[in-house]
Amino acid sequence: MGAVLREGFEVVAKLINPMMPHLAEELWQTMGHKTMLADEPWPKAIDSLLIDDTVTIAVQVMGKLRATLELPKDCDSKTAEEAALKIENVVAAMNGKPAKKVVVVPNRIINVVI
């Protein structure tokens, strides 16, 4: 069994222990541990892995959702606007008309007004 897979199974066994202690202890013993699972510490979260680097932003044309866009978190409005205006569904919804205004709410939504 690979080290990453084994560690994943160990974390799963620890997490299900409060709900299914008998099953979790059996899994723990099957993985070759000699100690009781109940004596093991609770898994710790790694804070650096909990931070999202990107956000999914809705792109609307005249208030109707036309696409979603994956952008870096806190990117500037100009970059978000340029990316939104290159999306095929947005271009099709604009019917060749120029955008009068593009409203960008950072990390939330982009609305194109034609």
Label the pairing between strands 54-61 and 109-113: parallel
C-alpha to C-alpha distance for 81 and 62, rounded to whole angstroms? 15
Identify the burial level of 9 via C-beta atoms within 10 angstroms of its C-beta, where 0-12 means exposed, 13-18 middle and 19 or more buried.
Answer: middle
Any idea which architecture 54-113 has in CATH? Roll (3.10)
Predicted TM-score (pTM) of this structure: 0.60
Give the pLDDT mean for 89-114.
91
Q: What are the domain boundaries of the chain?
A: 3-48, 54-113
Is pLDDT of 20 > 90? yes
For residue 56, name the pLDDT band (cuts at 50, 70, 90). very high
Predicted local distance difference test score (pLDDT) of residue 50: 81
